[in-house]
Structure 1
């Protein structure tokens, strides 16, 4: 049984933490863009356009177009459909809810990934992980407070749908990353997404002052950089080490929400968020244990 070199692990953690900060900054700019009059369809289009231009520039200045050639275009199309759907729900949540609450709902991705792994991939899922799934959804109920006026339930629904979509992409990426590089994966996702988003943009496009165009461009640039860092981290270190770094995003969301939008998390979030985070970390830990046991069995 082999393990990743320490320098690769540190690089993976560093890249993942960088992606967390970049995504948190992107969420701020998304919210500002919407507040200044940009439509959701416009934000989505520029998010992918900026990423596509960034990736294409990297490819042209370095490895060349042959480096992103693929024999799995069908899989990339499926990834683009799932990823774009998840992104639309996630962006809707960002503009609807305070940043900390929107970020916390995104922490349910490992919970949905466990369910999908059990149902679709037929992965063995013991009572430990099912217990963590139940605890995680209990944390969601604490944060959302159904029936109260804590925040719009529409925002909670889109947040959970976005997390479900992201978990679906995670399952698919397990297959894609076996043969495709981070650059190839991000290139095809960004490029293929522009086809449907171009149609949407043609319908919802409107004139804006210069500062809004700048905000939209920044969404695309930061989003592309964040996606490269996130995908690259998975190529350097194991999921069980890399993914827990994502939970640090709550710190950035809280800080940016307070400094830029003047909002602070509710008392319910401080109770429910630790439950959701704990369930996600436990699921990742059990996944790590399962892989170690499987590797030991193969060696024996």
Structure 2
């Protein structure tokens, strides 16, 4: 059993998970010219499954598949598939750092969707943070060079940005569903059903988008699944080791990884607008996290 409230262990696992997820994104971007992103999604889910099944077999805990909330797992897997599809498509048309920055919009949409879905009241502080985050999105979208100098038409890049933001909406819905499932299901059960169902969903679409990979592409696609699976396990272990509120800031290190990898591997030097917009989005996410901590202390005190 992992140690509870071990911030050092949780932070190291979170840092490792964000690094691996960024490496996975870089691999996806690398194969995107010849392999359709739907096909990549299948490999991401299918080759993550052995990692999940190995963990279940190692613990001899096949009861992880037992659930009384199968329909909720299906809905959660559907929203997760949509989020992943938006993310992978955005990687095909946007620089790595830009795509990563726009994925940070998830906390903004979690805040907005918690109003109709959870009946939460959002005060002036969190509304201000949401507006700050959306200002960051506009800085990235409208900043100098956002639609200039690339090899793709402006319209395609604009669609890529819109899809990247849509990923934040689908991820926010997934987050709220996971919150609901976590009341009765373990993290391992949620992740295992996620992998199984997302593999099934993408397998159904695979015949329409299949391109036979080259030997190198086979290797890279398998790596996408294995690296993603290991990163998912590390992320789950991180949250089992320390409180989410303590680990939130560490998740933003992926912008550093994406800037470095994008610059070195793809020669995509981020513009000032991307860096400034990312800073605003990260600041809004951290402030929302701060307000969550304040509200939690108030509930305990009340």
Identify which range, 223-232 or 260-269, moves more after superposition: 223-232
Once residues 146 and 124 of structure 1 are traced to their aligned partners in structure 2, the CA distance between those partners, rounded to angstroms, is 33
Once residues 196 and 276 of structure 1 are traced to their aligned partners in structure 2, the CA distance between those partners, rounded to angstroms, is 32
Q: 1:271 to 1:67 in 2, by over 3 A?
A: closer
Q: 1:235 aligns with which of 232, 240, 243?
A: 240
Helix, strand or coil for the counterpart of 2:11?
Answer: helix
Q: State the TM-score, normalized to the length of structure 1.
A: 0.93
Q: 2:205 aligns with which of 200, 208, 214?
A: 200
Helix, strand or coil for the counterpart of 1:19?
Answer: helix
Is 1:84 the equivalent of 2:81?
A: yes
Q: 1:29 aligns with which of 27, 30, 46?
A: 27
Kept in 2: contact 1:68–1:183 (CA 8 A): no
Q: CA deviation at 1:177?
A: 2.0
Q: 1:149 aligns with which of 147, 150, 157?
A: 147
Deviations 1:45-103 (A, max 9, x none): 00000111221122123323223311111111111000000000011111110000000
Q: 2:135 aligns with which of 122, 134, 138?
A: 138
Is 1:97 the equivalent of 2:107?
A: no
Once residues 299 and 27 of structure 2 are traced to their aligned partners in structure 1, the CA distance between those partners, rounded to angstroms, is 44
Q: What pairs up with 1:192-271 in 2 under 5 angstroms?
A: 192-271=197-276
Q: CA deviation at 1:5?
A: 5.6
Once residues 78 and 257 of structure 1 are traced to their aligned partners in structure 2, the CA distance between those partners, rounded to angstroms, is 33
Is 1:116 the equivalent of 2:113?
A: yes
2:283 match? 278
- Identify unmatched segments of 5+ residues in structure 1: none
- Identify unmatched segments of 5+ residues in structure 2: 149-153
Helix, strand or coil for the counterpart of 1:205?
Answer: coil
Helix, strand or coil for the counterpart of 2:129?
Answer: helix
